[in-house]
Structure 1
Amino acid sequence: MADVGLSLGIVGAYLVVALAVGLLAYRLTGNDAEDYYLASRSMGTVVLLFTTFATLLSAFTFFGGPNLAYAAGPEWILVMGLMDGVLFALLWYVVGYKQWLVGRTFGYVTLGEMLGDRFGSTGLRALVAGVSILWLFPYVMLQQMGARTALVGLTDGAVPYWAGAALITVFMVGYVALSGLRGVAWTDTLQGVFMLGVVWVAAAWVVTSAGGLSAVGQQVATEKPEFVALGGGLYSVQWMIASAVTIAFGVTMFPQINQRFFVARDDRVLKRSFALWPVLVLLLFVPAFLLGTWAAGLGVAVPEGGNVVPALLTDYTPAWFAALVIAGAMAAMMSSSDSMLLSGSSYLTRDLYRPLVNPGASASREGWIARIGVVVFALLSFVASLFVAGGSGGGLDVLVSIGDTAFGGYAQLALPVMAALYWARTTRWGMIAGVLGSQAFYLAHVLPLPFLSLPSTYLGWDFALYGMALSLLLTVGVSLLTTAAPGENATRFTDTDGLQAD
């Protein structure tokens, strides 16, 4: 690995560039909450596509996906590259386009606000926000832990964990609190372009250094013959389908992704974005997962608890390039965390502070409360990550469990939301039953409860899918058994005359 000076120089250069972008965005960012959280719904295709891309796929691209390919083979490309690339694009159209229409018409900023207004319920609004924050907070913490761990590894321990944690937290708070979504989206775009370019350069460099594509392929076939056969081992049909469905549906409800459904400048931007999404996903995941597969065939040794990409690049590329890629991976995790901080703040301020504490808050006041929310959210996750890193265990182990299963938790929200968007017969009590029932079912399987031990699969299928089915059954069943409560507006999402694209 490169010396500490070079490594810190690469990280420092990224931080300076990102902060400069944030300061530039700050000059264009207004004080009202809509501009701060949604950049005044003005994003074009390139920025919307790449900010979604960098926010969602960054850390997994460099670490999680290649590690899985190294251990189990490259078929994960089918889950993330094809199945989730296509499935999420379809959901972006089905859920995202309808959200964009109603959000633009009625000025919604968060999912909770949208549902609370449709069903005339502050309680439902707070429930959706609470569930979203429940899954988001530990996920932010885990992203920050990963970035800080990468910084410690990048500098061979010269920068201790707590110092790296403090540096990254202060940096993110600085440009997120200042510039809001506009600054986050611009830095994400730079990060997305960098991520796409560096992973292809890395793949080409490794192949060239290892003797060419045919030589590497032959090595994989010889050392890992199971990798060249489709299916087997981890990759059962049930596992692949369950993974694809829970990830794709969960992503649509992730706050930092779901809010991006509101921000397109016009319907043409949305349509171009979800049409290009599967292409962009394949361009990223194919080389990333091949790196993990090649490393297994080439016999690259990965330290226990380590990541395959740094080990592979250390063996086959110059030290400065390996340092560049790991610095990029760390920055990629930050590009996810900054969006999560912003979205977490919006749910805290828009769905909890505004309706429950200060309903009459001005737009300007809410904008400043939003910035304070970013600071609070970041500091809480920073403190939690230090305790987890210190091995304190206890309740913080529960946070890790929740963070590791966040996609499935968010997936439980998706079908009730889709029912609300498209079925006018949906009632407030149906929504509450669907959300609470499926979340209770899912948490009972996720949390380590001493008095209850539940299986992870039923008839070979992941419990998360059963939770999703339960959410739809409860939403539809209770809605059919109840009538609309006072304050509900059944035509809010279905009045096609009022919901037209430009």
Structure 2
Amino acid sequence: MEVELAFSGWSGILVLMLYGGLMLAVGVYAFLRNRGVRESLDEYYLGGRGLGVMVLFFTFFATQYSGNTVVGYPPTAYRLGYQYLVSVPFFIMIIMVYLLFAPRLYALGRRFNLLTPVDWIDLRFRSKKVTILAAILMLYGLGNYLLEQFVAIGQGVSGLTGGTIPYQVGVVFFIVIMVAYSWLGGMRSVAYTDTIQGIALLFGVFTLLIGSLIYLGGLPTAAETMIAEAPQKLGAPTGGSLTTWFCLLVLVGIGAAIYPHAFQRIFAARSERTLKRSFIRMAYMPFLTAGVVFMVGIIGISAFPDLTTAESEQLVGMMANALANQNAFFYWAMVLLFGGVIAAIVSTADSVLLTFSSIISNDLYGRYIAPNAEESRKILIGKLVGVAAVVVLVLIAWYPPGTLYQIFVLKFEVLIQTAPALILGLYWSRLNTQAVFIGMLAGTVLAAAFTFAGLRPLGVYSGLWGLLLNLVLCVGGSLVSQVTEAHRQRAVEVIGWQR
């Protein structure tokens, strides 16, 4: 994520201050708009379940496409060439998985007033150990994701301002702003800022592509460079590379679709029709976002040939510098682009923080510690614990423990273990609670053990080995140990299916 920009400095600081002020203004607006509305879990965490098509679309967009997509994907495309075209199906896969469960989950969310994905698991299985284990795995995944975003914010701010604002100061500055507007307006603040940041990110991405096509050569020029200097970059993945990309498709496709903060956007939709219309718009985004930044990376092959791996990580900054030197329009467009990248990272982090707080307040504190507490107190507890978690993560992010990629993968390895309970539970009334718990726990232990031991048998990611074991135990256990008729009938009443 760290990008050094020759044109950065006080212009970068100005843009960051502008974005920061705009985010705070959105938080104040959302607070004033709802000042007379009674504070409730639904209002604070789901925006009153009234998000319209465009706001819902952009908040989904901000959830799936962080600023890391813009600065992290082009260098990988530069190094791998057309093999990295698989980055577009990553996001198509996410939409396909959404469509497996989102409309049905929305209907159940309305019917049973569900607030979080843990709410759904508790309703479906009525098991304290399953609910708590799922909550812990989701909190771990969300905390991991927040750490990733905090590291990216600090690196981005430092790069955009040419080191004028140090890494640590950038982290603290934007986190304080994020916590402030999230605290003031909840989901409405988050969704509105997601909309602003999504528009800024799309503008920046297309400006970068157009400028690259005009001044840095197009895809034919890049193809000629690859033919002459790196013909392997024109080929499709084969052998072990093919296995790796297939595994990534499954891991990212399922893992990103079951983000806990994505679940809350499903519950926050104004209607099922609104949800489906937002997904229709999301279906184009893999081509308009991942596809565009992929082309930027390919164009970089001819614009800046023979970069080392470390140098290629600065590719987007190099291309932005080249464009910024052309004229005043592209100078400010590139400054706005990187300001938008940082704002987009913040928009991802605010969504994660809100869902983290909701699981604490609703699923742990509200369900097991103080079930009779007023909703305003539950919200306050969620806010306070969320701020405490942010402080801990900031201390960790102060000196990052690993690369962004390592943090990114580890998140999915664990989070994906909740998929059988979340998705199979929607359709299979004979799913056994004990089998679900054993499968989830065993899959998590195996995935974690393989990850920390650095094992990847047959080139398959440890999270997928964990998921395979999880599914075998979950499905096999359910087939061998049939649920009681009373449990099956209750499952049928919840999901409305006889299977």
Residue among 197, 204, 207 paired with 1:191: 197
Deviation of 1:342 after TM superposition, in Å, equals 0.6
Q: Residue 430 of structure 1 corresponds to which residue in structure 2?
A: 435
Q: Residue 56 of structure 1 corresponds to which residue in structure 2?
A: 64
Does residue 13 (structure 1) correspond to residue 18 (structure 2)? The answer is: yes
Q: Residue 172 of structure 2 corresponds to which residue in structure 1?
A: 166
Q: Residue 344 of structure 1 corresponds to which residue in structure 2?
A: 356
Does residue 252 (structure 1) correspond to residue 257 (structure 2)? The answer is: yes
Q: Residue 442 of structure 1 corresponds to which residue in structure 2?
A: 447
Does residue 137 (structure 1) correspond to residue 136 (structure 2)? The answer is: no
Instruction: Please say which of residues 484-493 and 27-36 is displaced more in the overlay.
Output: 484-493
Q: For residues 448-491 of structure 1, what are the alpha-carbon distances to aligned partners after superposition, in whole Å with 9 as ceiling and x for unaligned?
A: xxxxx463133x43343332222211112222315349888312
Do 1:68 and 1:292's aligned partners in 2 also have CA atoms closer than 8 Å? yes
Q: Residue 393 of structure 1 corresponds to which residue in structure 2?
A: none
Taking structure 1 as reference, are residues 220 and 233 closer, same or farther at Cα in structure 2, changes over 3 Å only?
A: farther
User: In structure 2, what residue type is equivalent to 1:374?
Assistant: G
Q: Residue 450 of structure 1 corresponds to which residue in structure 2?
A: none
Measure, in 2, the Cα distance between the counterparts of 1:95 and 1:170. 35
Measure, in 1, the Cα distance between the counterparts of 2:474 and 2:482. 11
User: In structure 1, what residue type is equivalent to 2:483?
Assistant: T
Structure-1-length-normalised TM-score: 0.89
Q: For residues 83-106 of structure 1, what are the alpha-carbon distances to aligned partners after superposition, in whole Å with 9 as ceiling and x for unaligned?
A: 233322222122211211111111
User: In structure 2, what residue type is equivalent to 1:464?
Assistant: G
Taking structure 1 as reference, are residues 286 and 325 closer, same or farther at Cα in structure 2, changes over 3 Å only?
A: same
Do 2:203 and 2:337's aligned partners in 1 also have CA atoms closer than 8 Å? no
Structure-2-length-normalised TM-score: 0.90
Measure, in 2, the Cα distance between the counterparts of 1:258 and 1:358. 24
Deviation of 1:194 after TM superposition, in Å, equals 1.6
Q: Within 5 Å, which residues of 2 pair with 1:293-372?
A: 293-299=298-304, 301=307, 304=311, 306-318=313-325, 319-372=331-384
Measure, in 2, the Cα distance between the counterparts of 1:199 and 1:93. 27
Measure, in 1, the Cα distance between the counterparts of 2:30 and 2:431. 41
Do 1:32 and 1:363's aligned partners in 2 also have CA atoms closer than 8 Å? yes
Taking structure 1 as reference, are residues 92 and 400 closer, same or farther at Cα in structure 2, changes over 3 Å only?
A: closer
Do 1:247 and 1:408's aligned partners in 2 also have CA atoms closer than 8 Å? no
Q: Residue 110 of structure 1 corresponds to which residue in structure 2?
A: 116
Gaps of 5+ in 1: 390-395, 448-452, 498-502
The count of residues paired between Structure 1 and Structure 2 equals: 481
Q: Residue 417 of structure 1 corresponds to which residue in structure 2?
A: 422
Deviation of 1:233 after TM superposition, in Å, equals 8.3
Measure, in 2, the Cα distance between the counterparts of 1:355 and 1:39. 21
Measure, in 2, the Cα distance between the counterparts of 1:215 and 1:347. 51
Gaps of 5+ in 2: 1-5, 326-330
Deviation of 1:3 after TM superposition, in Å, equals 4.6
Q: For residues 236-278 of structure 1, what are the alpha-carbon distances to aligned partners after superposition, in whole Å with 9 as ceiling and x for unaligned?
A: 3222211111101001221111221211111111222223322
Measure, in 2, the Cα distance between the counterparts of 1:117 and 1:457. 37
Q: Please state whether the residue corresponding to 1:108 is helix, strand or coil.
A: coil
Q: Please state whether the residue corresponding to 1:491 is helix, strand or coil.
A: helix
User: In structure 2, what residue type is equivalent to 1:439?
Assistant: T
Residue among 264, 271, 291 paired with 1:266: 271
Residue among 368, 384, 405 paired with 2:396: 384
Deviation of 1:313 after TM superposition, in Å, equals 1.3
Measure, in 2, the Cα distance between the counterparts of 1:405 and 1:307. 24
Do 2:358 and 2:379's aligned partners in 1 also have CA atoms closer than 8 Å? no
Q: For residues 1-59 of structure 1, what are the alpha-carbon distances to aligned partners after superposition, in whole Å with 9 as ceiling and x for unaligned?
A: 22522110011111111211122122234511111111111112211111111122122
Measure, in 2, the Cα distance between the counterparts of 1:212 and 1:403. 31
Measure, in 1, the Cα distance between the counterparts of 2:404 and 2:128. 27
Q: For residues 397-426 of structure 1, what are the alpha-carbon distances to aligned partners after superposition, in whole Å with 9 as ceiling and x for unaligned?
A: 699955542123222221232221110011
Q: Residue 496 of structure 2 corresponds to which residue in structure 1?
A: 495
